[in-house]
Structure 1
Amino acid sequence: MSTHIAEIAWALRPGEDFPNGRYSRGHSLGFDGGATLAGSASPHVVGKWAVPEAVDPEEMLVAALSSCHMLTFLHRARLAGFSVCAYRDRAEGVMAEVDPGRHAVTRVTLRPEIAWSGGEPDAETLARLHHEAHAECFIANSVKTEVVVASERATGPVTAVGSQP
């Protein structure tokens, strides 16, 4: 198997008051390929102590699910003989209370918009490709959050492709 590294760094800044919770939640996220991002708690969680322009863990979870689904979908579409020339998703995660005082991202909806080069799959084949991508996505297989794909050509408002146990 493989190992994946993320380095997270935070430090108290001058004038902040850690014992009373008055400190920035801003931090850095470094990845083994060299990319670095600004991270923070969500403004929805810690208000003014968040760094609004930074990426929060909930957004990273949603992005990881969307990215993994897209990469797996592109692979499945290629194997099925289709050519994708563009893929865009505006994924949305919903946080909800799961027990008193406990919250979780309970649902992530992916809304892929796909541009095809040449022939494109019919609605049934497209649904099958999304289902296969969901079933093979490493990140979807790692979480218990419900993941739904609302395909651009779905026959109903949302095409559910299953949730993890």
Structure 2
Amino acid sequence: MHYVANLAWERGDQNFESGTFSRRHRIAFDGGQTFVASSSPQVLPTPMSDEFGIDPEEAFVASLASCHMLWFFVIASKRKYCVDRYVDNACGVMRRNDDNRIAVTDVLLRPKVTFSGPRLPTEDEHRAMHHRAHELCFIANSVKTAIECQPELELAPTADAPD
């Protein structure tokens, strides 16, 4: 398996040598999606950064959260649970690592999962599925970043539940 991302940036009439040029660029994926990307305004101020562009740090956190979610879906469906909704407000922290290099050292996943149907997981089963999703996540297995998961279980109301 291999994966491709095509990046494109052009200087235009900006003064490259001064270092004050825009880092805004485009990333295209093989499925046809194209996104505006940029350095983070937290790393490099505007106008050199585009606050509306996806920065590498955000993309990194999103890829970890997305991979975790997709594996969670595999596990939940194999166990015959019905997931109605999955929301994760994931957060990454960038600081100096043990080698004194700036890195995204920690990512906190906070998935809130809503289940419905006749078969509902317990809190322990829910946590175990997240633990297994983390073990299987290709992206998590590819990085040194500490990844913590704080799942929240939500059960959808049933039709026969009292009002």
The CA distance in 2 between the partners of 1:97 and 1:143, in whole Å, is: 16
Residues matched between the structures, number: 150
1:114 corresponds to: 113
Residue 105 of structure 1: aligned partner? 104
Gap runs ≥5 in structure 2: 154-163
Q: Determine whether 1:47 maps to 2:42.
A: no
Q: Which residue in 1 is equivalent to 2:25?
A: 27
CA contact 1:108–1:146 (8 Å) conserved in 2: yes
For residues 1-165 of structure 1, what are the structure 2 equivalents within 5 Å?
2-14=1-13, 16-48=14-46, 49-98=48-97, 99-100=99-100, 102-118=101-117, 119-153=119-153
Q: Deviations over 1:120-149 (max 9, x none)?
A: 211111111001100000111111101111
Instruction: Please report the TM-score for the alignment, with normalisation by the length of structure 2.
Output: 0.89
Cα deviation for residue 23 of structure 1 reads 0.2
Identity of aligned pairs, percent?
43
- Distance in 2, matches of 1:124 and 1:146, equals 22
In the alignment, residue 150 of structure 1 is paired with which amino acid?
Q
SS at match of 1:47: coil
SS in 1 for 2:50: coil
Q: Is the 8 A contact 1:13 1:23 kept in 2?
A: no
Residues 74-110 of structure 1, C-alpha deviations (whole Å, 9 max, x = no match): 110111121101111111000011244x210001111
Structure 2 CA distance, aligned partners of 1:146 and 1:71?
A: 19
**Letter aligned with residue 103 of structure 2:** A
Structure with the higher helix share, 1 or 2: 1
Q: C-alpha deviations, 1:43-94, integer Å up to 9, x for none?
A: 0111121000000000000000000000000110111121101111111000
What is the distance in 2 between the residues matched to 1:13 and 1:43? Answer: 21
Tell me the distance in 2 between the aligned counterparts of 1:4 and 1:82: 31
User: Cα RMSD between the aligned structures?
Assistant: 1.0
**Aligned letter for 1:137?**
C
Aligned AA (2:43): V
Moved over 2 A (4+): none
SS at 1:113's partner residue? strand
Gaps of 5+ in 1: 154-165
